[in-house]
Structure 1
């Protein structure tokens, strides 16, 4: 298995500037292949998951990366389209095909739900580059997989929850029971138990693995979180995209804490509920998207897996609001223990 490190790039996208290296991993037995270099003006196709730009979480993180690229990379034109709640899978395929046929290159798919579409469309457009966020299984010489060590960042969120909980009772609300969201749960549970082995952890998923509507149902998330708070939980981690707004509302009603995800939600959430957000587990999707586009521009983009972890700054925690500054030294210790392998975090 070949591993190739790319150059550091710095991105500012509404948060603290973070320098991140990309690690591209090719499948065992095959080298990393570079797609045909692009010449001329870059026409970028960006397909969002449910919620699209404005979800104040997952999709907005990708949008921030594109916005930064438009400010810093010459000659970018971007076409953005989003998935609709409850749409059939064929709509995603049609969306990706339409962009490829219109000459957009590269095309970036935000979310694992686009994997079947890329698997079908990418081989038919071998000179078009594709990238997909959070999906490792779809592959090809013109596909780059932008991946994250969510379990490592979620471990730190579990540690925060355990250290800040007064009841020893915490929770997690997930958008659906998919393998990706399960990585958050697995890391969170490990973090909680590392700090407080006797803690109670309540888990609720809003929909089944194939049902993406759970990421756009704040009403359903609010009900799930309220049940947890009423039962004794005083910190709940939301891993539910736009539905997370409901968790924050429930925390506000209960006078309890919540933890955000993907973005610094103490900055992006409704101002009325920002005070309940202890911290957020940020995934630097903005950095991944920006770095991918920069690689296309300078002809260094590669196919295969690109993994962003704690060591590379791809996942981390936020300090907005000052609610966890008292435990920051311990969090930094845990972070370094994970980076150096003294604490092992299983992805599932």
Structure 2
């Protein structure tokens, strides 16, 4: 059942502390975390044979999964990988199904396996100990146990709040109604990072801005594969006065774009530069996208395996290393808006602006 959660936004700053295998996952040097155990490099046998296990929405979502595929393709070309495979998510995405998908990859000789999306965290945690010579990675992953480290697992995360701050500032700078919207696929801590940054950036430009927020699902990952749900959520926000809507909803975002076309309003994409991947009619309504370089993370993980030292533990990609950002395709953002965003970007990198991670 599709569920919509809509409410006003109030911001509070909270810290996110993630550590494993001696690698810190946030930028807070005062986290006070205990030292994590050291991990020996995973010993990959033979050439790298890479598998991608896709998130809900699958390849062709013009967003999250497609970005991971782009990273795989770049790695395959540059490193001469001849044995790669992909696994599509299905209607039944239980933990057992994800575990079976991962085991099938490993049992058929694939020694580099990337779970695309946080939903693979539990399955990877269960499967990885049984395949110590396979390097696993989870995009947006987390360690569900937090006590028993799997040294052959890399968790690849992003400072989504930082990139979202910039597109929030862009939305507030170019909104004519003083009301903007945010549509999230699932109401969890990951997608709340997008919401928190978006609202903070908008309020930095216009303290009186109104931000309408809708989540397609409360907990079901199906919220990332529901274009009709995305369209309904955006339609409601446009009807309530929003003239720009930002989505963090994966394939559901195509529905947000359809709503923007129908209402003749504007939208903001996510993950990849969606002006370049959307249809021609939709593209004319996408003023920018919050770039989340899943392609860079996927490529970098594969490269670490090829180099003989597979990544382990937590890595976070930030504004400072171009792990997140914003797009300017289509020339919708005015020069004044871009100058504002670049100023905010530098302040975030310098630590002068601390972007909240939770609404």
Deviations 1:16-45 (A, max 9, x none): xxxxxxxxxxx8423552433334322112
Number of matched residues?
326
Which consecutive segments of 4 or more residues in structure 1 shift more than 2 A?
A: 1-4, 30-41, 85-89, 136-139
Residue 52 of structure 2 is matched in structure 1 by 46
* Pair 1:284 & 2:293 matched: yes
* Pair 1:318 & 2:327 matched: yes
Query: Which of 84, 101, 105 is matched with 1:78 structurally?
Result: 84
Residue 221 of structure 1 is matched in structure 2 by 230
Map 1:250-261 to 2 at 5 A. 250-261=259-270
Deviations 1:99-154 (A, max 9, x none): 12222111110001011111110111111110000013244110001110000001
In the TM superposition, residue 320 of structure 1 has moved relative to its aligned partner by: 0.3
Distance in 2 separating the partners of 1:159 and 1:86: 38
Distance in 1 separating the partners of 2:100 and 2:136: 15
Residue 7 of structure 1 is matched in structure 2 by none
In the TM superposition, residue 257 of structure 1 has moved relative to its aligned partner by: 0.8
Q: TM-score, normalised by structure 2?
A: 0.87
Deviations 1:45-83 (A, max 9, x none): 210001111110000000000000111002341110011
In the TM superposition, residue 189 of structure 1 has moved relative to its aligned partner by: 1.1
Q: TM-score, normalised by structure 1?
A: 0.90
* Pair 1:168 & 2:171 matched: no
Whether contact under 8 Å (1:33, 1:302) holds in the other structure is no
Query: Which of 277, 282, 288 is matched with 1:273 structurally?
Result: 282
Query: Which of 297, 304, 328 is matched with 1:295 structurally?
Result: 304
Whether contact under 8 Å (2:186, 2:223) holds in the other structure is yes
* Pair 1:89 & 2:95 matched: yes
> Equivalent residue of 1:175, what SS?
strand
Residues 321, 131 of structure 1: alpha-carbon distance in 2 compared, 3 angstrom cutoff: same
In the TM superposition, residue 86 of structure 1 has moved relative to its aligned partner by: 4.1
Residue 158 of structure 1 is matched in structure 2 by 168
Residues 253, 204 of structure 1: alpha-carbon distance in 2 compared, 3 angstrom cutoff: same
Residue 252 of structure 2 is matched in structure 1 by 243
> Equivalent residue of 2:351, what SS?
coil
> Equivalent residue of 2:320, what SS?
coil
Structure 1 residue runs without a partner (length 5+):
5-26
Whether contact under 8 Å (2:54, 2:65) holds in the other structure is yes
Query: Which of 181, 190, 197 is matched with 2:200 structurally?
Result: 190
